[in-house]
Amino acid sequence: MQTYGIEKLGIIGPKAVYRNLTPAQLTEAALRLGEGSLTNTGALLVTTGKYTGRSPDDKFIVDTPTIHDDIAWGKVNRPISRERFDAIKGKVAAYLQGREVFVFDGYAGADKKYTQKFRVINELASQNLFIHQLLIRPTAEELENYGEPDYTVLCAPGFKCDPAVDGVHSEAAIMIDYEAHMIVICGSQYAGEIKKSVFSTMNYVMTKLNVLPMHCSANMDPDSGETAVFFGLSGTGKTTLSADPARKLIGDDEHGWSPDGVFNFEGGCYAKCIDLSAEKEPDIYNAIKFGALVENVIMDPDTRELDFADGSLTENTRVGYPVNYINNAQIPGEGGIPKVVVFLTADAFGVLPPISRLSREAAMYHFVTGFTSKLAGTERGVTEPQPTFSTLFGEPFMPMDPSVYAQMLGEKLDKYGTKVYLVNTGWAGGSAAEGAKRMKLAYTRAMVTAALNGSFDSVEFKHHDVFNVDYPVSCPGVPDEKLDARGMWADKAAYDAQANKLAKMFADNFAKKYPNMPADIAAAGPKPKD
């Protein structure tokens, strides 16, 4: 029996080892093992049990002398000792003995100058299907000459940790050993843990290669090759705005910016399914077919139709599929040097300009700040908009100090003259709590188009004193009055009070989280009035 190197991990007596099975074979194996069911479109549906999302409190980085000074230790990046890591790894290896084991040898990084080889060893065929579709799949020739991986991922959701013995927080543990080039995931069946562990690894490795890792989507003009990247937290419209039918989609979530351009880390997409419809998100809807893995969506047992509106298991319902399931995907996932960077935010306070141009320092400020806001009523007791600040628009996945990534961004903006815009896809003319409406998607699309095609280059801008940004006075396809955040409020005093309140939240967050950030970056942020 071929073992493909798994005996090096201590998995000595597996029942069988399968390497790089096809999606059809993995789907058949998952059904045989009782891991899931087929939907009416042929996708594989699974439920992930207790864990229906990432478990940030259970994520650890092995603290060793060679990497200690690189890591921004704290609530996000928690240390674990090599001894505890090795002990849990040994238990997982012993757990897999006598079981069927599924191996996927694939790549992260579409630009071959920076590609990293990841060997993912799974207990579950369904999770092996997921990572087969999410990473970049090798050709038959590449697989033949694959050799040793750069990183190995060992994933066994059926093994449960004992916190009292293993020194972790729960039955689940997601652990990265950057020095040993090893990732261990156990106790959680949520497939996103595999994807994001690979991303967290790339976010460390790429900085050593002069590549800025980014939690963003990216697209490009099919004729000119001009490239744009879109940063944004959940609910800001990142997927919707980057999936432009007039442009090629490079990728929807994870990219690197090298001296040569932008490249996708992945070969697939992991999209939310809650309230999904063919009308709102046709690309995602049509991607739910044979070869896709669907998590935690409720299915009618008779018709096998999925009910995307049913969030009874979780609001975080998901589907994983290869990027080539999207009609206008750019394959391989490579583009040029970004002409434009777009930071997306959904401001439920209703006070940020719909679009504003950022200076270099302001771009670095908003990059590390990563702002959006939650609506009133999304959680019990929340009666007004709540700010959300996620460093670098992906705080849980960035192992190094934010200043490292911010400095890399600033250097690239200087070198390439890339323009940066802050786009508010949220509420206008009042706050969400007061019943105001979100900015029309058609207007937001027109603003993004103007940013991408250079229409703002010859337009007058005004300065917003509180938010310390410049906003245009006109935009093709958008009424002038829709560009003035304050002008859209009937009660100007109420706008001023709300804007000042949000600006103070920005300032307080920045002072608390980034006390050592350079003064010129700190000065580029909002300016609350006393």
Compute the distance between CA of residue 113 and CA of residue 117 in angstroms, rounded to an integer: 12
State both tokens at 290: 């044979």
Half-sphere exposure of 26 (CA within 13 A, CB side): 29
Is-contact 470 463, C-beta < 8 A?
Answer: yes
Place of tokens 């960077």: 341
Mean per-residue pLDDT for 268-283?
Answer: 92
In a domain, 263, yes or no: no
In a domain, 237, yes or no: no
495 and 364 belong to one structural domain: yes
In a domain, 178, yes or no: yes
pLDDT at 234: 81
Residue after which a domain boundary falls, among 211, 233, 257: 211
145 and 10 belong to one structural domain: yes
Mean of all residue pLDDT scores within the chain: 95
In the chain, the number of structural domains is: 3
Place of tokens 């594989």: 44
Mean per-residue pLDDT for 97-108?
Answer: 97
Burial class (CB within 10 angstroms; exposed 0-12, middle 13-18, buried 19+) of 47: middle
- Three-class secondary structure of residue 281 per DSSP: coil
- Three-class secondary structure of residue 87 per DSSP: helix
In a domain, 369, yes or no: yes
pLDDT at 1: 77
Is-contact 14 98, C-beta < 8 A?
Answer: yes
pLDDT at 375: 63
Mean per-residue pLDDT for 421-443?
Answer: 94
Burial class (CB within 10 angstroms; exposed 0-12, middle 13-18, buried 19+) of 481: exposed
| Model confidence at 381: pLDDT above 80 | no
Q: CATH no. for residue 484? A: 3.90.228.20
In a domain, 227, yes or no: no
What are the residue numbers of the active site? 54, 196, 215, 234, 238-239, 253, 318
125 and 16 belong to one structural domain: yes
Compute the distance between CA of residue 182 and CA of residue 164 in angstroms, rounded to an integer: 24
The pLDDT-based confidence of 326 (bands split at 50, 70, 90) is: very high
pLDDT at 402: 94
Cα separations (Å) of 319 from 16, 192, 417? Answer: 28, 10, 37
The pLDDT-based confidence of 235 (bands split at 50, 70, 90) is: confident
Supply the pTM of this predicted model.
0.94
192 and 321 belong to one structural domain: no
Is-contact 401 77, C-beta < 8 A?
Answer: no
303 and 193 belong to one structural domain: no
Residue after which a domain boundary falls, among 191, 211, 231: 211
The pLDDT-based confidence of 383 (bands split at 50, 70, 90) is: low
In a domain, 239, yes or no: no
Is-contact 517 403, C-beta < 8 A?
Answer: yes
Neighbour tally for 417: CB within 10 Å: 9
What single-letter amino acid sits at 467? F
153 and 277 belong to one structural domain: no
The pLDDT-based confidence of 530 (bands split at 50, 70, 90) is: confident
pLDDT at 377: 43
In a domain, 360, yes or no: yes
Mean per-residue pLDDT for 381-408?
Answer: 88
| Model confidence at 465: pLDDT above 50 | yes
What tens digit of pLDDT does each residue of 340-354 get?
999 999 999 999 999
283 and 390 belong to one structural domain: no
pLDDT at 239: 81
Is-contact 182 154, C-beta < 8 A?
Answer: yes
State both tokens at 92: 């997982």
pLDDT at 380: 44
143 and 189 belong to one structural domain: yes
286 and 144 belong to one structural domain: no
Q: CATH no. for residue 285? A: 2.170.8.10
pLDDT at 243: 81
Q: CATH no. for residue 135? A: 3.40.449.10
In a domain, 248, yes or no: no
491 and 388 belong to one structural domain: yes
Tell me which residue range forms the domain holding 306: 268-325
Compute the distance between CA of residue 185 and CA of residue 122 in angstroms, rounded to an integer: 10
pLDDT at 280: 84
Residue 177: which of 242, 80, 32, 321 has the closest Cα? 80
Compute the distance between CA of residue 178 and CA of residue 77 in angstroms, rounded to an integer: 13
What tens digit of pLDDT does each residue of 467-506 get?
999 999 999 999 999 999 999 999 999 999 999 999 999 9
120 and 181 belong to one structural domain: yes
Residue after which a domain boundary falls, among 190, 211, 232: 211
Least confident of 44-48, 237-241, 424-428: 237-241
- Three-class secondary structure of residue 269 per DSSP: strand
| Model confidence at 193: pLDDT above 70 | yes
20 and 165 belong to one structural domain: yes
